[in-house]
A and B are shown apart, each in its own frame.
Chain A
Amino acid sequence: MSDHAPSASELADFRAEVSGWLEEHNPADPGFLLPQTFMEVGSDQQLEFLREWQHKLWSAGYLGVHWPEQYGGRGMHPAFQNEINRELRRHRTPITFNVIGLGWAGPLILDIGTEEDKAKYIKGILSAEDIWCQGFSEPDHGSDLGNAQTRAVRDGDDYIVNGSKIWTTMGNYAKYMILLARTDPTTKRKYDGLSFFLSPMHGTGIDTRPIQKITGEYGFTETFFTDARIPSSCLIGGEGNGWRVAMQTLQYERGAAAGAAGGQVQVRVSIADLIDEVRSVKRDGAPLLEDPVIRDRLVQLIMDEKALGLADKRSTLGDLNSDYPMSLLLSYKLRVSEYQRRMRQYGLEIQGGLGGLYVGDEDTIAGGFWQRAYFNNFATTIGGGTSQIQCNIIGEQVLGLPKS
């Protein structure tokens, strides 16, 4: 990675180049609904489309540009990748779907992996040849990662793994999993018995079962390990350090400077899109947007969305955060996911009879986008620690309230 910070004009030139490329290569509407997030890849059709797109983006030199050249990056400064990310957002491109590889496993391997690991894994992550998934959550311990019970027992040069993981995104497509498993069930602190593996997904004793979501689509699997043998070389960070490595892994998501390869993690859904799409909807024989009750509620949602953007900027102004220093950072996930839930739900609620139709019906607004977007959003209010757990964390760590 180059330490030389690029000048504003270098960045502007680069951005123009990316923009030009995207104008030509941003894929046209494929005629079927594309996922807004990597958690929504539910069909082979979607997968192949996204795989081709990510491969094309990487081949053009626009993914992981700040990762080392010998592993498939370009050794550039992270600022260049940020420029690309902005352009991808602006052009509203499809997502770069190999998110666990690009944002979690890849940076981790580059940070603490062996030379062999880097040579083996990194390029496949960028090119989308190797899809990665994440094995943290378990059926009985949704929000309590530290309590993971999947066992990994050392046996010669292997570990024998038994247990199950749930909410494995693209588990049925993935070649590798970042796996959190218990190597020592006797430790005093539950966290100290965990280890972190770069586990293969194709092998005897590893089975996946797709989970059908409320949308009727797929995207997650449950993953079962039954006396599955994985080589001990898959261990990363040392035995018993799994919790620390897992926490480290979560830090990379915050952007190129933090290590993530970049790309378009999710297609953002905004209240502005909703308002544009319901302009033609009628209520009481008049345009929906003339109804004072609807207007009031829409303004509240506009404000909620704007407050999120402002909070993001305000979090960098120390003087305005000194009294509750961690508040904006710790509450961001809660606020953004709950706002999206309310907004998408409302997007459905105000469609009149059209809200009763579903994806696949030609009369729906935007192909049933809002129907699907609302249902899928529960992945964000439940996944990564439910909103209720978030409230506990914020109440305890920001307000100092006693533990529940």
Chain B
Amino acid sequence: MKKSNMAIGLSEEQGMLLDTAREFCRDRSAIPAVRALLQSESGFDAQVWQEIAELGWLGVAVSEAHGGSGLGMGSAIPIVECMGKRLLSTPYITTVLVAEALQRAQSHALCERHLPAIVGGQIATLALLESEDWGEETIELTATDAGGDLQLAGSKTQVAYAVQAELFLVSVTYQDEARLLLVPASALGEGAVRRQTNIDETRRSSRVDFTGATVSSDHLLSGDATAIIRDLRLLGALLYAAEAAGSTAACMDLTVDYLKTRKQFGHLIGSYQSLKHPMVEVLCDMDNARSFVYHAATLVSEASLDEDAESACRMAKAQASEALKFAADRAVQFHGGMGFTYECDAQLYIRRAQWSQQAFGDAYHHRKRLASLLLD
């Protein structure tokens, strides 16, 4: 086994973002606000989204030339962790990933045309997945030449915030090669977007049928699309891991508060070791998730992710998925009968845990790839 990279740190900027994000997310996303959005059409508060843009958060990893602050993806991590802690769901993750792809592709014209708008709050979304299989690398959706334009055939699933998105970044097969293509929402036909019902009601996703859409061929991103898609998947996994680490902490706090106040058989139930000890396990799992998340945040850069960074992102996602799943499962159980109700906030976390573990690959998916990196 090769020597393990143990870098972990927090830059001054990341520390400041953590402070600001803690406060902002706490103020804007108290549980009643989260619940008020569950049944809404968009799933997020447009006003809050605009504030997020004004804070410059959509541009933390966007170069200064395009209106961002050029701090790198590592700086999005504290923001997303805080969002996760307050269950603040917005198109943030999917939008910053699209911006990241444009920069990694170094498609200058596309960057100039789209990045300033994205930094300003234009919703962009990633359309990579075609089935339930995050391990599938073949892209069925095709782009073919049609008189100077490209015509698309095929669909994508679990496209986040597709109803609101103005821009889709789609993985396609073009001339037998993987490519990334920007598709404006205006290119989609009537009924192309079918909203899906999400297990986590703070999320919004859709199946999007791109068949028949026609876009100009200058919308194709340059660069090695296979490498960029790989990086996007790793960064996506890291961002969802950071979010899940935050949600795990919140879920743990919720359960701990209940164990401190609920009495049964004359005792506070938190005094019972059968409840106390699993909460310590939740705490340790959460701590480990957090360590991996910030380790990965320290290793990712604008360069294509090296083996250490890849390994760190996969560990972060594997650990955070398991941590939230366990914390949420115990949250429901330890709330007793109350925990079984929709009214109890434990439902928010157990639903989120199921969504989050799947996003950008579950724990097994990542451990399988870690095994190749670490054991062979």
In the assembled complex, the CB of B313 is this many whole angstroms from the nearest CB of chain A, namely: 13
Q: Does A32 contact B (CB under 8 A)?
A: no
CB-CB < 8 A to A319: which residues of B?
10, 15, 18-19
Shortest Cβ distance from B282 into A: residue? A399
Question: Are B273's CB and A388's CB within 8 A?
Answer: yes
CB-CB < 8 A to A310: which residues of B?
6, 8, 288, 291-292, 295
Restricting to B341-376, which residues have a CB under 8 Å from any CB of A? 364, 367-368, 370-371, 374-376
Q: Mark A286-330, 1 if CB is under 8 A from B, else 0.
A: 000100100110111011101101110110010110011001100
Q: Does B110 contact A (CB under 8 A)?
A: no
Please measure, in the bound complex, the distance between the C-alpha atom of A402 and the C-alpha atom of B375, giving whole angstroms.
44
CB-CB < 8 A to A295: which residues of B?
367-368, 371, 375
Q: Does A404 contact B (CB under 8 A)?
A: yes
Question: Are B287's CB and A327's CB within 8 A?
Answer: yes
Please measure, in the bound complex, the distance between the C-alpha atom of A396 and the C-alpha atom of B319, giving whole angstroms.
25
Looking at B8, B9, B273, the one whose CB has the most chain A CB atoms below 10 A away is B8
Please measure, in the bound complex, the distance between the C-alpha atom of A66 and the C-alpha atom of B6, giving whole angstroms.
29
CB-CB < 8 A to B287: which residues of A?
307, 311, 324, 327-328, 331
Please measure, in the bound complex, the distance between the C-alpha atom of A309 and the C-alpha atom of B271, giving whole angstroms.
31
Q: Does B36 contact A (CB under 8 A)?
A: no
Contact (A395, B277) CB under 8 Å given A306-B4, A317-B9: yes
Question: Are A296's CB and B271's CB within 8 A?
Answer: no
Q: Does B280 contact A (CB under 8 A)?
A: yes
Q: Does B272 contact A (CB under 8 A)?
A: yes
Q: Which of B18, B259, B276 contacts A392 (CB 8 A)?
A: B276
CB-CB < 8 A to A303: which residues of B?
288, 292, 315, 318-319, 367, 370
CB-CB < 8 A to B283: which residues of A?
324, 327, 331, 394, 398-399
Q: Which of A323, A331, A392, A401 contacts B284 (CB 8 A)?
A: A331
Q: Does B108 contact A (CB under 8 A)?
A: no
CB-CB < 8 A to A335: which residues of B?
284
CB-CB < 8 A to B15: which residues of A?
319
CB-CB < 8 A to A276: which residues of B?
1
Question: Are B272's CB and A334's CB within 8 A?
Answer: no
Shortest Cβ distance from A274 into B: residue? B1
Please measure, in the bound complex, the distance between the C-alpha atom of A295 and the C-alpha atom of B272, giving whole angstroms.
36
CB-CB < 8 A to B368: which residues of A?
292, 295-296
Contact (A401, B271) CB under 8 Å given A307-B291, A320-B294: yes
Question: Are A395's CB and B6's CB within 8 A?
Answer: no
In the assembled complex, the CB of B57 is this many whole angstroms from the nearest CB of chain A, namely: 18
Contact (A311, B271) CB under 8 Å given A295-B368, A401-B259: no
CB-CB < 8 A to A292: which residues of B?
368, 371
In the assembled complex, the CB of B86 is this many whole angstroms from the nearest CB of chain A, namely: 13
Please measure, in the bound complex, the distance between the C-alpha atom of A22 and the C-alpha atom of B270, giving whole angstroms.
52
Q: Which of A313, A328, A331, A403 contacts B280 (CB 8 A)?
A: A331
Please measure, in the bound complex, the distance between the C-alpha atom of A7 and the C-alpha atom of B272, giving whole angstroms.
53
Question: Are B291's CB and A314's CB within 8 A?
Answer: yes
Question: Are A313's CB and B6's CB within 8 A?
Answer: yes
CB-CB < 8 A to A298: which residues of B?
371, 375
Q: Which of A306, A317, A391, A403 contacts B315 (CB 8 A)?
A: A306
In the assembled complex, the CB of A105 is this many whole angstroms from the nearest CB of chain B, namely: 32
Q: Does A1 contact B (CB under 8 A)?
A: no
Question: Are B280's CB and A272's CB within 8 A?
Answer: no
Shortest Cβ distance from A398 into B: residue? B283
CB-CB < 8 A to A401: which residues of B?
256, 259-260, 270-271, 276, 279
Please measure, in the bound complex, the distance between the C-alpha atom of A400 and the C-alpha atom of B10, giving whole angstroms.
27
Q: Mark B251-295, 1 if CB is under 8 A from A, else 0.
A: 010001001100000011011110011011001100110111011
CB-CB < 8 A to B292: which residues of A?
303, 306-307, 310
Q: Does B249 contact A (CB under 8 A)?
A: yes
Question: Are A399's CB and B280's CB within 8 A?
Answer: yes
Q: Which of A317, A398, A399 contacts B8 (CB 8 A)?
A: A317
CB-CB < 8 A to B375: which residues of A?
275, 289, 295, 298-299
Please measure, in the bound complex, the distance between the C-alpha atom of A334 and the C-alpha atom of B284, giving whole angstroms.
10
**What band does the interface of chain A fall in when counting residues whose beta carbon is under 8 Å from B?**
35 or more
In the assembled complex, the CB of B2 is this many whole angstroms from the nearest CB of chain A, namely: 9
Question: Are A299's CB and B367's CB within 8 A?
Answer: yes
Question: Are B256's CB and A399's CB within 8 A?
Answer: yes
Contact (A391, B277) CB under 8 Å given A275-B1, A402-B260: yes
Q: Mark A372-402, 1 if CB is under 8 A from B, else 0.
A: 0000000000000000100110111011111
Please measure, in the bound complex, the distance between the C-alpha atom of A136 and the C-alpha atom of B8, giving whole angstroms.
38
CB-CB < 8 A to B6: which residues of A?
306, 309-310, 313
Please measure, in the bound complex, the distance between the C-alpha atom of A272 and the C-alpha atom of B374, giving whole angstroms.
10
Shortest Cβ distance from A331 into B: residue? B284
CB-CB < 8 A to A300: which residues of B?
367
Please measure, in the bound complex, the distance between the C-alpha atom of A298 and the C-alpha atom of B371, giving whole angstroms.
8
Looking at B18, B280, B367, B370, the one whose CB has the most chain A CB atoms below 10 A away is B280
Shortest Cβ distance from B376 into A: residue? A289
Question: Are A392's CB and B374's CB within 8 A?
Answer: no
In the assembled complex, the CB of A393 is this many whole angstroms from the nearest CB of chain B, namely: 9
CB-CB < 8 A to A392: which residues of B?
273, 276-277
In the assembled complex, the CB of B330 is this many whole angstroms from the nearest CB of chain A, namely: 13
Question: Are B10's CB and A320's CB within 8 A?
Answer: yes
CB-CB < 8 A to A400: which residues of B?
256, 260
Looking at B259, B276, B291, the one whose CB has the most chain A CB atoms below 10 A away is B291
Please measure, in the bound complex, the distance between the C-alpha atom of A394 and the C-alpha atom of B283, giving whole angstroms.
9
Shortest Cβ distance from B295 into A: residue? A310
Question: Are A272's CB and B1's CB within 8 A?
Answer: yes
Contact (A404, B272) CB under 8 Å given A311-B287, A399-B279: yes
Contact (A394, B371) CB under 8 Å given A307-B292, A323-B249, A401-B260: no
CB-CB < 8 A to A388: which residues of B?
273, 277
Please measure, in the bound complex, the distance between the C-alpha atom of A13 and the C-alpha atom of B67, giving whole angstroms.
50
Restricting to B1-56, which residues have a CB under 8 Å from any CB of A? 1, 4, 6, 8-10, 15, 18-19
CB-CB < 8 A to A320: which residues of B?
10, 290, 294
Q: Mark B82-103, 1 if CB is under 8 A from A, else 0.
A: 0000000000000000000000
- Chain B interfacial positions (CB closer than 8 Å to A): 1, 4, 6, 8-10, 15, 18-19, 249, 252, 256, 259-260, 267-268, 270-273, 276-277, 279-280, 283-284, 287-288, 290-292, 294-295, 315, 318-319, 364, 367-368, 370-371, 374-376
A–B pairs, 23, beta carbons within 8 Å: A289-B376, A292-B371, A296-B367, A299-B370, A299-B374, A302-B370, A303-B292, A303-B370, A306-B315, A309-B6, A310-B292, A311-B288, A314-B291, A319-B18, A324-B287, A328-B287, A396-B276, A398-B280, A399-B279, A399-B283, A401-B270, A402-B259, A402-B268
| Given contact pairs A395-B277, A398-B280, A402-B260, a sample of 10 additional A-B residue pairs in the complex whose CB atoms are under 8 Å apart | A296-B368, A299-B371, A299-B374, A302-B1, A306-B6, A310-B288, A324-B287, A331-B284, A395-B280, A401-B271
Question: Lowest 4 CB-CB distances: which A-B pairs, in order?
Answer: A310-B291, A295-B371, A307-B288, A401-B270
